[in-house]
Chains A and B, each alone.
Chain A
Amino acid sequence: MSKNKQTISVSLDKDIVERINQDHVNTSGLVNTMLRKYLRGEIKL
Chain B
Amino acid sequence: MGSKITSIRIDERQWEQLKRDNVNISGLIRDLIERYLAADQDGEVADSIKAAAISRKREQAAELQDEAERLLAEVKELEEMKTKKEAKVEAIESGGRMMKETHEKFHGYSPKQLAKNTKFREWAMDNERSVLRLKEEYLDYRESLEDY
Q: How far is the CB of B44 from chain A (nearest CB, A)?
A: 12
Q: Does B35 contact A (CB under 8 A)?
A: yes
- Contact pick for A14, options B1, B35, B46, CB 8 Å: B1
Report how many residues on chain A are interfacial, defined by Cβ distance under 8 Å. 36
Report how many residues on chain B are interfacial, defined by Cβ distance under 8 Å. 37
Q: How far is the CB of A3 from chain B (nearest CB, A)?
A: 5
Interface positions, chain A 1-15, Cβ under 8 Å from B, are 1, 3-15
Structural contact, A5 and B34, CB atoms closer than 8 A: no
- Whole-angstrom distance between the alpha carbons of A7 and B17 in the complex? 15
Q: How far is the CB of A45 from chain B (nearest CB, A)?
A: 5
Per-position 1/0 for B29-47, Cβ under 8 A of A:
1111111110000000010
Residues in chain A within 8 A of chain B (CB atoms)? 1, 3-17, 19-20, 23-36, 38-39, 43, 45
Residues in chain B within 8 A of chain A (CB atoms)? 1-15, 17-18, 25-26, 28-37, 46, 49-50, 52-53, 56, 63, 67
